[in-house]
């Protein structure tokens, strides 16, 4: 379970001091211009949606504090510009990122290719090896141009080992689920579950008997 704590903790000075111990999670959102990156972020942070939105210049940084698995996380989310001339800036923002969200517009096939290009650019020398990868198809309230376009995305997500979500900044569908999954995956990566070793009783008895025989040789 992931709980939003921003509103609760803004009123308490004592609890604001505790925020210094929050686990910092850097998340970077990549994708072509006009695919809805800023709208996704706005919907997640405020629950609101606006049809009119100015293009991001360079990058925009916003944060949200959440409680996940009993721990407090500060999600530091970077909304990057989608224009090609800002690619060098986006590379810089991707350094030390714990999670990358690749966004495309479900109704526009060209943005699928754009999403792939963004991944290729970042994966060459910028993307940390342990970064979690997510693909978000925005505008799921609309339709894919073809089944081929959807299959293209699904196959690409498998190829780069990314989790695939269909979301809508307009309706809110899938937005919270995306960031909840990111929070949980991040903690799983930080604290992997240790596999328990199951010892077969007969094997244990057999090895004990062998040890006893050696003693009397």
Kindly report, residue by residue over 33-58, the tens digit of the pLDDT.
999 999 999 999 999 998 766 666 55
Indicate the DSSP class of residue 20.
Answer: G
- What is the reported pLDDT for 205? 52
Q: Which comes out higher in pLDDT, residue 210 or 93? A: 93
Rounded Cα distance, 27 and 128, in Å: 12
Whether pLDDT at 109 is above 50:
yes
Tokens of 103: 């966004």
Chain-centroid distance of CA 150 in Å reads 20
Rounded Cα distance, 136 and 77, in Å: 15
Chain-centroid distance of CA 195 in Å reads 25
- What is the reported pLDDT for 74? 97
Q: Does domain 2-215 have CATH number 3.40.50.300?
A: yes
Rounded to 5, what percent of the chain is helix, strand, coil?
45, 25, 35
β-pair type (99-105, 132-138)? parallel
Residue owning tokens 């990314």? 162
- What is the reported pLDDT for 153? 97
Where does residue 102 rank: exposed (0-12), middle (13-18), buried (19+ CB within 10 A)? buried
For the segment 131-140, what is each residue's pLDDT rounded down to a tens digit? Answer: 999 999 999 9
Question: Quick one: angle between helices 109-125 and 87-94, nearest 10?
Answer: 60
For the segment 157-200, what is each residue's pLDDT rounded down to a tens digit? Answer: 999 999 999 999 999 999 999 999 999 999 999 876 554 445 55
Tokens of 108: 């526009």
Are 69 and 97 in contact, with CB atoms under 8 Å apart? no
- What is the reported pLDDT for 14? 41
Are 73 and 23 in contact, with CB atoms under 8 Å apart? yes
Tokens of 85: 């001339």
Q: What percentage of the chain carries pLDDT values higher than 70?
A: 71
- What is the reported pLDDT for 166? 98
Print burial letters for 139-156: b (CB count within 10 Å at least 16), e (below 16).
bbeeebeeeebbebbeeb
Average pLDDT of the residues of the chain: 82
């Amino acid at each position: 379970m992931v709980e939003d704590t921003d509103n609760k903790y803004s009123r308490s000075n004592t609890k604001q001091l505790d925020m210094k111990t929050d686990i910092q999670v850097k998340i970077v959102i990549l994708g072509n211009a006009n695919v809805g990156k800023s709208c996704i972020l706005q919907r997640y942070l405020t629950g609101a949606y606006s049809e009119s939105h100015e293009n991001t210049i360079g990058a925009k940084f916003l944060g949200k504090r959440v409680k996940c698995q009993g721990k407090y996380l500060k999600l530091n989310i970077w909304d990057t510009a989608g224009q090609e001339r800002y690619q060098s800036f986006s590379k810089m923002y991707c350094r030390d990122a714990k999670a990358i969200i690749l966004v495309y517009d479900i109704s526009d096939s060209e943005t699928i290719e754009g999403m792939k290009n963004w991944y290729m650019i970042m994966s060459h020398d910028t993307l940390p090896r342990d970064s979690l990868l997510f693909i978000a198809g925005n505008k799921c309230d609309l339709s894919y141009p073809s089944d081929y376009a959807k299959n293209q995305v699904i196959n690409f997500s498998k190829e780069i080992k990314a989790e695939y979500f269909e979301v809508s900044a307009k309706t809110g569908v899938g937005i919270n689920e995306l960031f909840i999954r990111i929070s949980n995956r991040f903690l799983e990566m930080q604290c992997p579950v240790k596999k328990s070793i199951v010892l077969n009783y007969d094997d244990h008895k057999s090895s004990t008997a062998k040890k006893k025989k050696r003693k009397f040789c």
